[in-house]
Amino acid sequence: MHIFCHLTAAIAAAFAALACSSVGAQGYPSKPIRAILVEGAPGAVTDIVTRAAAPELAARLGQPIIIENRAGGNGLPGMEACVKSAPDGHTLCMISITTMSFHPHTFAKLHYNPEKDTKPVTQMYFLTEGIYVPASLPVNSMKELQALAKAREKSGALNFGIPGVGSNPDIFRQWLVQRWRTNVVGVPYKGFAPIVTAVLTGEVDFAKMGLGNAIAHIKSGKIRILAVTSATRLKLVPDAPTMEEAGVEGFNVKGWWGIVLPAGAPDAVASRLSAEYIRLFREPKFAEFLDSSYVETVASTPEQFAAFLKTDREYIGQLVKQYNVPKQ
């Protein structure tokens, strides 16, 4: 289930930084730490994980961690608050693929630069996502869904719930349209909660989102899951094939979350925080908790996360250009 990176030398370097504690990290932390969930609504996966990790990390760091939810506004208000914070390591920014990889390409005017205004700490995890349909839709596989989409081309295209034009799920829709050579209409909603409701009621024919959003309805039989984005099948939904098994492999964009600091924060602080997160996320009990939260753990070093951010942002830029995603 987990995607635990083989960090070896990189982890050793991170722990060496923690042990040696260079001048930039002396006396850190000296006051409570703010963790700003840039897009985190209360009760969402990242909110749950961050709140579960906070007391564990606070005990090790010797200062409390205060969680601030900044949901709404496409993550822009939360992101702007983060980058304007003092670069002393006492403000953690919980960021995602949306604010770091999509926004630079989908907003005409962005009041922050993901690369220049932040210092990477660690990538936490990938969201385990699934493709869902209402139980009332007469399909049991992605191939049957494709056949239905082709059959309904003339009578009315299938609808696909999206959290906004140009979002990760919307680009997946366009990729699927190109692959299937048929039409699928994107229907925008204000977040994934209303998309779940739309699937439940049959207002949309299918959707792609984190497993945590839909698992209760999958268990009740009101929503059917056709595929999962994890590398292997999941114990919690063993009958759901992987995207590769379902015949829709090749879409290499997965929702992820990580932590950055405002630019200018000491390297030693970023290394210490990274080492603490790596240590916590690899502990058996916490790893089990993450597993039950439907995420694929990464827990990387600052250097690894910086390299990932650059690659991911460039790849998303290519997709945005390929599918002519309009700028906001």
pLDDT tens digits, one per residue of 141-179? 999 999 999 999 888 899 999 988 888 899 999 999 999
* Model pLDDT, residue 2: 44
Of 182, 210, 228, the one marking the end of a domain is: 228
Is the predicted pLDDT of residue 5 greater than 60, yes or no?
Answer: no
Q: How far apart are CA 221 and CA 80, in angstroms?
A: 41
Residues 122 and 149 reside in one and the same domain? no
Answer whether residue 248 is part of any domain.
no
In 3D, which of 299, 245, 292 has the Cα closest to residue 122?
Answer: 299
* Model pLDDT, residue 25: 62
Mean confidence (pLDDT) of the chain? 89
Answer whether residue 305 is part of any domain.
yes
Residues 178 and 122 reside in one and the same domain? no
* Model pLDDT, residue 73: 79
Answer whether residue 81 is part of any domain.
yes
Residues 24 and 50 reside in one and the same domain? yes
Task: Report residue 193's pLDDT band, with 50, 70 and 90 as the boundaries.
Answer: confident
CATH number, position 69 = 3.40.190.150
Residues 86 and 165 reside in one and the same domain? no
DSSP string, 12-61: HHHHHHHHH--GGGTT---SPEEEEESS--TTSHHHHHHHHHHHHHHHHH
CATH number, position 221 = 3.40.190.10
Range of the domain at 27: 8-127+255-322
Local structure of 63: helix, strand or coil: coil
Of 193, 211, 228, the one marking the end of a domain is: 228
Please list the residues that pair with 223 across neighbouring strands. Answer: 134
Residues 102 and 145 reside in one and the same domain? no
Residues 106 and 141 reside in one and the same domain? no
Residues 205 and 280 reside in one and the same domain? no
Of 190, 210, 228, the one marking the end of a domain is: 228
Residues 118 and 263 reside in one and the same domain? yes
Q: For strands 184-188 and 91-96, give the pairing.
A: unpaired
Residues 123 and 136 reside in one and the same domain? no
Q: Residue 194, Cβ neighbours under 10 Å: how many?
A: 14
Is the predicted pLDDT of residue 250 greater than 60, yes or no?
Answer: yes
Is the predicted pLDDT of residue 23 greater than 70, yes or no?
Answer: no
Residues 60 and 102 reside in one and the same domain? yes
Before 55, cis peptide (omega within 30)? no
* Residue of 223 and 12 predicted with greater confidence: 223
Is the predicted pLDDT of residue 209 greater than 50, yes or no?
Answer: yes
Answer whether residue 309 is part of any domain.
yes
Residues 15 and 111 reside in one and the same domain? yes
* Model pLDDT, residue 24: 54
Answer whether residue 169 is part of any domain.
yes
Task: Note the pLDDT tens digit of each residue in 258-308.
Answer: 999 999 999 999 999 999 999 999 999 999 999 888 888 999 999 999 999
Residues 213 and 134 reside in one and the same domain? yes
Per the structure, the count of domains in the chain is 2
- HSE-CB of 234 using CA atoms within 13 angstroms: 25
Name the CA dihedral angle for 6, 61, 120, 265, rounded to a multiple of 10 degrees. -150
Q: For strands 91-96 and 158-162, give the pairing.
A: unpaired
What percent of the chain has a predicted confidence (pLDDT) above 90?
67
pTM: 0.82
Answer whether residue 2 is part of any domain.
no
CB of 297 within 8 A of CB of 114? no
Local structure of 71: helix, strand or coil: coil
